[in-house]
Structure 1
Amino acid sequence: MIRAPLLALLLLLPAATLAQPVVAERQMVVASHPLAAEAGRAMLRAGGSAVDAAVAVQAVLSLVEPQASGIGGGAFLLHWNPGSRELAAWDGRETAPAAVRGDLFLRDGRPMAFLEAIVGGRAVGVPGAMRMLEDAHRAHGKLPWADLFAPAIRLAEEGFPISPRLAQAIATSAETLRRDPAARALFLDAAGAPLAEGATLRNPALAETLRALAEQGADALHRGPIAADIVNTVRRHANPGLMTADDLAGYAPRRAAAICLPYRAYTVCSPPPPSGGAVVLQILGLLGHFDMDADPAGIDAAMLLGEAGRLAFADRNRYMADPGFSPVPTVGLLDPAYVTLRAQMLSLDRANSAPRPGNPRRFGPPLASQPPQPENGTAHIAIVDAEGRALSMTTTVESAFGARLVVRGFVLNNQLSDFSFLPEVEGRPVANRVEGGKRPRSSMSPLIAFRGGDLELITGSAGGSRIIGYVVQSLAATLDWNLDPQAAAALPHVGALNALTELEQGTVAASLAAALIGRGVPVEAREMNSGTNIIRVQRDGESRRLLGGTDPRREGAVAGD
């Protein structure tokens, strides 16, 4: 039941955001483009698993949403197998080439401008999405690997109508896309104008690359002629990178146990760092000390979401990095005693004037906090198959169209720009500094929640560093306020970004600004273009049904049976 204050808030939303959730009895795919969701459902209907569907979704997203994700990028994946009761996390995050050093993004000792750094080969990381999916498919796939690429190959050859969102992205990035001959040929017309909404986009080069992936597995990207083309494109650019054939051939995904935290009657789980899930869990731990049930549309709920997020971001900027290179005190940051200590710094009456990082369990070497810098891109995928296996996966090329480089029909990422441009601050190292072979810190937070050991919720979002706040709000909306997935995905945003609390402009959330400022909160109203996709499981005895919701700010779709 939706309470009156929240109902009043929802009724002020545009009508398009008030759609009902999609309901299915057996299986469901939620993805950021209708063609991708349909490709995933086709795999499920063929008897495939959640991982089979995810491979098909990722292949199609490489074609229809190249500004956000693709086979040239990376991903995090969380997979639940109810038969074995195993929850596994895969890290397909890109890695820095072995030859890079901490000064990669410095010029005359100063950080490069962001756009100057990302356009070209300098910021391209070794892609990991397909290696990760291949590894997950070996463990949980049911259909032949080659079959999973058929929908994307067909669409790449036949073409598809350019969506409004893709057309806008092409127009916005046209100046940098036209600098790369392959990107220009794919996204601009013969006169150099951006392809318009409704135009048919065909990508035969991507179709050939996908055929190679279907036949050879991920080796098609990491060894041989496609890999050679990636290296040449990266190294020969006017803004060159340092990637080598050995970097590509040596890439390996990581498989690890998920990290989990109790939240009220639920257990919420995420991949470990360098994903952003640990930050989401810490925010939930802080919120767990307060009553989120009282007036969820009001100022107190906004205050808690913002203040808990600001405090967790302070810890994130000090500690979060690739644990293979920089010790990350994940256990300490989520320890109930530490979270309780941090929660005592939160007040509903007055904002924390300057949130500072804590020191979980007197953690190790002195580190500097990473200065804020842009994070972008991403798409989220949520899947439940007919046997109850569940998958939460967030995938990215980082900025819109990544490095603005196209190789064999796919976009190369600019993921190295997620490292701190400054390797040290005031003589102290930044944990997320650039190092050869290291994975950059990420905000991607694919989550799965359980109740009583049973699958309850799958959630995650696009949105760069704002992903953390979007995912926290989706969890509060569903688990605390009992909104259905569609209403939760449409909820006006309130969330932290570093030391700020952000409110979604043009929505009723922005009307809270004056009250928050009165409590000392640093507030900014801005566009908050999330991409939250959610599946919730409802049970009635032995039967279940699936409810799916997709963010109305994007072009996502729910496909279920």
Structure 2
Amino acid sequence: MEPGCFGFRSRRAPVYGARGMVATSQPLASEAGLRLLQQGGSAADACVAAAAALNATEPCNTGLGGDAFALFFEAKTKKVHCLQGCGRSPAALTLEGALAHPDVSGTSLHPMSALCVTVPGTASAWEAAVAQWGTKSLREVLQPAIELAEGGFPVSQGAAQIWQQSEELLAQAARGRPTPYLPGGRAPKAGEIFRNPDLAQTMRLLGEKGAKEGFYTGAVAEEIVKALAARGGVMSAKDLAEHSCSFVEPISSCYRGRFRLYECPPPTQGVTALMALNLLEQLPAPPRLSSEAIHAQAEALRFAFADALQFCADPAGRSVSGELLDKERAAKRWKQMFDPNARAAAVAPDGEGVRMGPDTVYLAAVDQWGNACSFINSNYMGFGTGIVPDGCGFSLQNRGHNFILQKSHPNCLGPSKFCYHTIIPGMVTREETKDLFCTLGVMGGFMQPQGHLQVLCAMADYGLDPQAALDQPRFCLQGVDSALGAASAGAAQLLLEEGMPEETQAQLRSMGHDVHLVTGWQRLVFGRGQVICRDPESGVLCGGTEPRADGAVAAW
């Protein structure tokens, strides 16, 4: 398939089920999750099984070398829980050391630098999710992924496209040595069988020994440290051995009095989606896909990003979610900043009332008991740094690129810190009854809160079903970047996806938006999402999956 061919020429229908459902960006991963549900596993078991399968089938997006976050809706109590599975920067990583390093380019680290590797949180997150919310052992949950990695699978079309774009990166990171991700010296093509026995062995070790002994100490940890040291990295065995994930309180906000969106707290950017919704609800919903609707949504996100990029950072040093999510603050900011006829000339963070204190896969599952898990797993940029520790079968993330090299900034690079984190799972409940409305996620860097807002509004404001909400043309504020700070929100271009009404495009340009139309494979910039809704009376599940990926909803 030619890279420019990415048209939507067929209809996807929403998928219905009654006993369980899994939605991922890859059919084999959805099957892995469904297998766990059919074996009596929980939604968390299914999500970890699917995430591990995606490490095998979409290593160009996710894996054990990255981070993971999860939200879990407990049907019995109607409570939403949050798992934070990100790692800290190495203890030896200092701003002075980084600025003197040859990998500094302009105002930020080179994205493929070994200094961008933070401690991978995925292994501990998988283990914790299964232990806290699962009914199966970690060994059982990882078995489908082990079979895929060891026995091989045909590479899907979307993954092959992304994989091929990473050939040069993987070759450079390998430094002349063989890498499992370039068999025969090139990326696999769509339909070709790919095997990764090293990854299978790493997962088997993780399942047998657990995260501490099977990943963060021992042979795997030794290879991670060795691979990074050889490339100028400063991560130590102690950095890995001291890692642990944590269960934290999610943050949330009610939208239009009907739906409550839950997000992970800082250092993630979940607060951005919530702030934007608080701003957007100051207006009645304009006609769908009209210039009025896109303008209001884009401006709400632009204002929210400005605040998030300024104040969202390691929560050990700050706690600002409560202040940023204050409804009165949102009403005041909207009144001051929003012009219904023109894009704001300047966008700046608003520190009033804020006290200083902190490429990806998204997947979801709902089990037979009505529990739901919203799960996200990421290397950050594709294969991350592309660095593959010898014999381990996974690449290491480049999450530390999200730090800013500005000494006075809360998100400044430093030792043993969490950086601003882009990956965010979402969960939505009905405000009146507290029942589950849907799991929600749209993966893709700084597109993620933008996707949360657009997909939720499509369902909440316009009554679209999950598949129609995901099919709808999107916009993206392109150029937002935590490494560049709050100023990037004001300078961001407005990308519009092919299919956006021509009248809307023209009117947005007349309002002063820097509009660019995006077609073909470049449409991946608009993210890739999954949604599962649940009817509280019948228990019937309705799922949608991303048309911009190879996704599939598996129902039982």
What TM-score does the superposition give when structure 2 sets the normalisation length? 0.90
Distance 1:205 1:362, change over 3 A: closer
Q: Which runs of 5+ in 1 are unaligned?
A: 1-12, 368-376
- 3-state SS of paired residue (1:409): coil
Instruction: Tell me the distance in 1 between the aligned counterparts of 2:108 and 2:314.
Output: 24
Distance 1:503 1:117, change over 3 A: closer
Residue of structure 1 in register with 2:406 after alignment: 423
1:184 shift after superposition: 4.2
Is the 8 Å Cα contact of residues 473 and 495 (structure 1) preserved in structure 2? no
1:175 shift after superposition: 1.4
Q: Deviations over 1:43-76 (max 9, x none)?
A: 0000001111122112111111111111111011
Instruction: Tell me the distance in 1 between the aligned counterparts of 2:329 and 2:71.
Output: 26
| 1:300 is aligned to 2:322 | no
Instruction: Tell me the distance in 1 between the aligned counterparts of 2:176 and 2:26.
Output: 24
- 3-state SS of paired residue (1:178): helix
Candidates 206, 210, 219, aligned match of 2:199: 206
Distance 1:116 1:175, change over 3 A: farther
| 1:552 is aligned to 2:547 | yes
Partner amino acid, structure 2, of 1:506: E
Is the 8 Å Cα contact of residues 23 and 543 (structure 2) preserved in structure 1? yes
Instruction: Tell me the distance in 2 between the aligned counterparts of 1:110 and 1:96.
Output: 16
Candidates 306, 317, 324, aligned match of 2:316: 324
Is the 8 Å Cα contact of residues 80 and 88 (structure 1) preserved in structure 2? yes
Partner amino acid, structure 1, of 2:295: M
| 1:538 is aligned to 2:535 | yes
| 1:410 is aligned to 2:405 | no
- 3-state SS of paired residue (1:122): helix
Candidates 386, 396, 420, aligned match of 1:441: 420
Instruction: Tell me the distance in 2 between the aligned counterparts of 1:79 and 1:42.
Output: 19
Residue of structure 2 in register with 1:341 after alignment: 332
Instruction: Tell me the distance in 1 between the aligned counterparts of 2:282 and 2:308.
Output: 20
| 1:77 is aligned to 2:61 | no
Distance 1:537 1:341, change over 3 A: same
Q: Matched residue pairs, number?
A: 526
Q: Deviations over 1:242-265 (max 9, x none)?
A: 111111010011211111111121
Instruction: Tell me the distance in 1 between the aligned counterparts of 2:188 and 2:252.
Output: 45
Residue of structure 2 in register with 1:261 after alignment: 253
Identity %: 31
Residue of structure 2 in register with 1:373 after alignment: none
1:503 shift after superposition: 2.9
Q: Which runs of 5+ in 2 are unaligned?
A: 1-6, 481-488
Instruction: Tell me the distance in 2 between the aligned counterparts of 1:156 and 1:114.
Output: 39
Instruction: Tell me the distance in 1 between the aligned counterparts of 2:235 and 2:501.
Output: 44
Residue of structure 1 in register with 2:460 after alignment: 479
Candidates 375, 399, 403, aligned match of 1:393: 375
Distance 1:348 1:110, change over 3 A: farther
RMSD: 2.1
| 1:117 is aligned to 2:110 | yes
1:312 shift after superposition: 0.7
Is the 8 Å Cα contact of residues 23 and 531 (structure 2) preserved in structure 1? yes
Alignment of 1:72-151 (within 5 A): 72-103=65-96, 105-107=98-100, 111-112=104-105, 117-151=110-144
Distance 1:200 1:80, change over 3 A: same
| 1:463 is aligned to 2:447 | no
- 3-state SS of paired residue (1:187): coil
Partner amino acid, structure 2, of 1:394: I
Is the 8 Å Cα contact of residues 291 and 507 (structure 2) preserved in structure 1? yes
Instruction: Tell me the distance in 2 between the aligned counterparts of 1:490 and 1:45.
Output: 29
Instruction: Tell me the distance in 1 between the aligned counterparts of 2:329 and 2:102.
Output: 37
Residue of structure 2 in register with 1:363 after alignment: 355
- 3-state SS of paired residue (1:26): coil
Distance 1:103 1:170, change over 3 A: farther
Distance 1:364 1:46, change over 3 A: closer
Candidates 32, 54, 60, aligned match of 2:47: 54
Residue of structure 1 in register with 2:494 after alignment: 502
Is the 8 Å Cα contact of residues 493 and 509 (structure 1) preserved in structure 2? no
Distance 1:15 1:167, change over 3 A: closer
